[in-house]
């Protein structure tokens, strides 16, 4: 599309004269583009971006994408591919129509299962009340917001008893542990912890992904053990991604300080750093200056991708929507970046990704077929 057409659309967007379809195109992000497609100055692009961002409503469920210009790391809405599909809509419309006619696959919700020390289980969701449970002086209850809260840990009798909270695919949950530590569990995750922490340390075990805000206690270090890493902290905010079906385990530090161990390897992290290890190695690689927002986007209602392949992206989508994924054709080598709301029907997420023109999706029941 030529410069006059781009400017015409942006001018009509500014004046409020766009159709709903045109406005949606302007407020969407697409991955395949070249800067030469715009023929606009950086100043013009930045000015247009600022206006578009100011127009976006901040309601839950809104979906938008962004892209970065390498030299200046400038956030831009990239319109070139969108314009292509707007002017030459036949192929895109066909694919979008196929998704539109698919059965709805709704996003996940706050739900989990609590397994008590005696082996009994408690369903945790918005519709199930939780009667007061008392274990070894620890009171377990749901807050008004539906979060699980353990109370009385400082005076409780120390018992060699453990509870486990586990989320299914399509579930997430928040729990406050007996010491006041807050934990957010992502989908398909499990946290095992003592009903009452000992006098010397606070140990928990994690599989899957969780974000921790650890209550400060210099006398009792807090340790998170996963299959690939062990993290030791005194009081800090960090995210641990340790799914068994992912190639890498990642610990990302937002605040404070943590020590990460794997075998004989050790790394001390400062805020903005990430410890990465894989199954076949004892080496811990430390990434500096990472975007910590990416690691906790799931907790804040977003999928956030930064140069990720489609397999990693679909793993996240599969866990949250509780679906199966099938791959057909050669999908290697393509990297994607962007933000997608977690609170849309899955077809809305797929439609936006499909607008790139590099990938297609077909939904059959609860199976998503991914094709080049």
Segments making up each domain of the chain, as ranges: 3-88, 200-291, 301-371
* DSSP states along 284-342: -EEE-S--HHHHHGGGGTEEEEEEEEHHHHHHHHHHHHT-EEEE-S--TT-EEEEEEET
Categorise residue 335: left if φ over 0, alpha if ψ from -120 to 50, beta otherwise.
Answer: beta
pLDDT digit string (tens) for 114-170? 999 999 999 998 877 777 788 887 889 888 788 999 987 555 555 588 999 999 999
Scan for tokens 């023929």, then name that residue.
39
CATH topology of domain 200-291: Jelly Rolls (2.60.120)
Q: What is the pLDDT of residue 95?
A: 56
Ranges under pLDDT 70 in the chain: 1-10, 13-14, 20-103, 153-159
- pLDDT, residue 234, reads 82
Please give the CATH topology (third level) of the domain spanning 301-371.
Phage tail protein beta-alpha-beta fold (3.55.50)
pTM confidence score: 0.75
Query: What residues form DSSP beta bridges with 277?
Result: 249
pLDDT at 65: 39
Question: Which pLDDT does position 270 carry in this prediction?
Answer: 94
């Amino acid at each position: 599309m030529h410069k006059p057409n781009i400017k015409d659309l942006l001018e009509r967007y500014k004046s409020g004269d766009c159709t709903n379809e045109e406005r949606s195109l302007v407020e969407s992000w697409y991955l395949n583009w070249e800067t030469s497609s715009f023929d606009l100055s950086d100043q013009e692009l930045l000015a247009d971006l600022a206006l578009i961002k100011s127009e976006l409503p901040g309601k839950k469920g809104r979906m938008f994408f962004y892209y970065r210009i390498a030299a200046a790391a400038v956030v831009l809405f990239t319109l070139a591919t969108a314009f292509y599909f707007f002017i030459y809509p036949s192929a895109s419309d066909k694919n979008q129509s196929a998704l539109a006619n698919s059965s709805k696959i709704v996003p996940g919700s706050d739900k989990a299962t609590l397994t008590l020390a005696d082996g009994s289980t408690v369903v945790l969701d918005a519709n199930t009340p939780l009667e007061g449970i008392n274990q070894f002086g620890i009171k377990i209850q749901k807050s008004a917001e539906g979060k699980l809260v353990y109370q009385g840990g400082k005076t409780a009798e120390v018992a060699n008893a453990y509870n486990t909270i586990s989320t299914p695919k399509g579930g997430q949950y928040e729990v406050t542990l007996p010491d006041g530590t807050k934990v957010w569990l992502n989908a398909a995750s499990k946290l095992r912890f003592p009903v009452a922490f000992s006098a010397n340390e606070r140990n928990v075990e994690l599989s899957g992904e969780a974000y921790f805000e650890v209550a400060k206690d210099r006398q009792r270090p807090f340790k998170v053990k996963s299959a690939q890493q062990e993290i030791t902290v005194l009081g800090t905010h960090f995210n641990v991604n340790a799914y068994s079906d992912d190639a890498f385990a990642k610990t990302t530090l937002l605040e404070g300080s943590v020590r990460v161990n794997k075998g004989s390897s050790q790394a001390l992290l400062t805020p903005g750093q990430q410890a990465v290890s894989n199954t076949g190695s004892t080496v811990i690689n430390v990434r500096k200056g990472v975007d910590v927002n990416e690691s906790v986007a799931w907790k804040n209602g977003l999928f956030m991708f930064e140069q990720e392949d489609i397999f990693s992206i679909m793993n996240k989508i599969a866990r949250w929507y509780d679906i199966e994924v099938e791959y057909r054709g050669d999908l290697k080598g393509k990297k994607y970046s962007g933000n997608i709301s977690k609170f849309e029907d899955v077809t809305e997420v797929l439609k936006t990704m499909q607008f790139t023109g590099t990938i297609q999706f077909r939904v059959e029941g609860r199976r998503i077929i991914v094709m080049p």
